[in-house]
Amino acid sequence: MGTWISHLRIAENLLSHFPNVDEVTFTFGNFSPDSGVPNADWTEFDPPKEVTHFLRKGEAEESIHDLVYYQQYLATIRPEDDIQRYSFRLGYFFHLICDILWAKRVWEATQLQFKPLFDADFKNAVSLVKGDWYGLDQLYVRDYPEHIFWRVIMANPYPPSYLPFVKVEALHHQYNHICKFYSEQEDDWFLSIPYQYLSETTMTRIVNESTEAVLIVHEKVKSMKNLDGLVSSISLLPESLLVPYKEPLGNQSVGN
């Protein structure tokens, strides 16, 4: 649910808190839940989001069962035994947490603030809103040439899949798509939009507060012997980090 560069901005924030991870596999791991190959209109993926994002059929991303993933694929791995596998899977876990937060804080707020737009034409509304999301990504990679997108993602060979349900062919297909999307833009369309649906101020806020939330969740789960049936990080976070943002989300309030 979060944008690709928002995930990398969070990953870059987190690296200083996890100095012993393998930087390359951790960074790529933060991309890897978005490894399903999309169909023509990006409405279905192979493998589907139910697999890559630990969802039940019909659930939205605020319902991601990230703690199920943690228990099955991360809790029993010691970093000293396989640092690449551990780092990749840790990045994957953090992506899932951040998708929950984006769904609850940004996406839910967007649909509320711009309800008439979504009611009139949901598909067109999604396209307009995501134009702002990914336009902000484009601005960020343009303005920060030392960011880990350039320093790590673009500078290293793609790692293998370190998860049994993630197909390496699909993973590398999406890595390639993401790299081309941000490094081979044919024009500067992102300079001409007003960012009325999401501003850089709001983007920076969700990046910073998601970083805070990830650190809280990680600290709690690593000290728990078992999770007592918990399936989502929502149960471990304060309400202040879960509520939808207040308007305006963008540079101006429209569509109300």
Query: How confident is the model over 193-229, as pLDDT tens digits?
Result: 999 999 999 999 999 999 999 999 999 998 887 888 8
Phi/psi region, residue 201 (left: phi>0; alpha: psi -120 to 50; beta: rest), is alpha
Q: Distance (Å, rounded) from C-alpha 211 to C-alpha 30?
A: 13
DSSP secondary-structure letter at 162?
-
Rounded to whole angstroms, what are the CA distances from 113 to 98, 198, 244, 245?
Answer: 21, 11, 10, 10
What is the predicted pLDDT for the residue at 238?
97
User: pTM for this structure?
Assistant: 0.94
In a domain, 246, yes or no: no
In a domain, 58, yes or no: yes
In a domain, 229, yes or no: yes
| Domain that includes residue 131, residue range | 4-241
Cβ atoms < 10 Å from Cβ of 127: 10
Mean pLDDT for the chain? 93
- Over residues 111-139, the mean pLDDT reads 97
In a domain, 69, yes or no: yes
What is the predicted pLDDT for the residue at 228?
83
In a domain, 253, yes or no: no
Overall domain count for the chain: 1
Q: Model confidence over 54-75: pLDDT tens digits?
A: 998 889 899 999 999 999 999 9
What is the predicted pLDDT for the residue at 71?
95
CB 66 within 8 A of CB 96: yes
| Cross-strand bridge partners of residue 38 | 45
In a domain, 248, yes or no: no
Beta-strand relationship, 45-46 and 37-38 = antiparallel
Please check the confidence at residue 244 and state whether its pLDDT lies above 80.
Answer: yes
**Could you tell me which residues come within 8 angstroms of residue 239 by beta carbon, excluding any fewer than 6 positions away?**
none
Q: Distance (Å, rounded) from C-alpha 245 to C-alpha 208?
A: 14
In a domain, 87, yes or no: yes
Q: Distance (Å, rounded) from C-alpha 122 to C-alpha 139?
A: 26
In a domain, 256, yes or no: no
| Cross-strand bridge partners of residue 45 | 38
CB 161 within 8 A of CB 47: no
Rounded to whole angstroms, what are the CA distances from 246 to 27, 101, 110, 202, 238?
Answer: 31, 15, 9, 10, 17
What is the predicted pLDDT for the residue at 42?
66
- Residue 185 has which token pair? 């833009």
Q: Model confidence over 71-97: pLDDT tens digits?
A: 999 999 999 999 999 999 999 999 999
CB 195 within 8 A of CB 136: yes
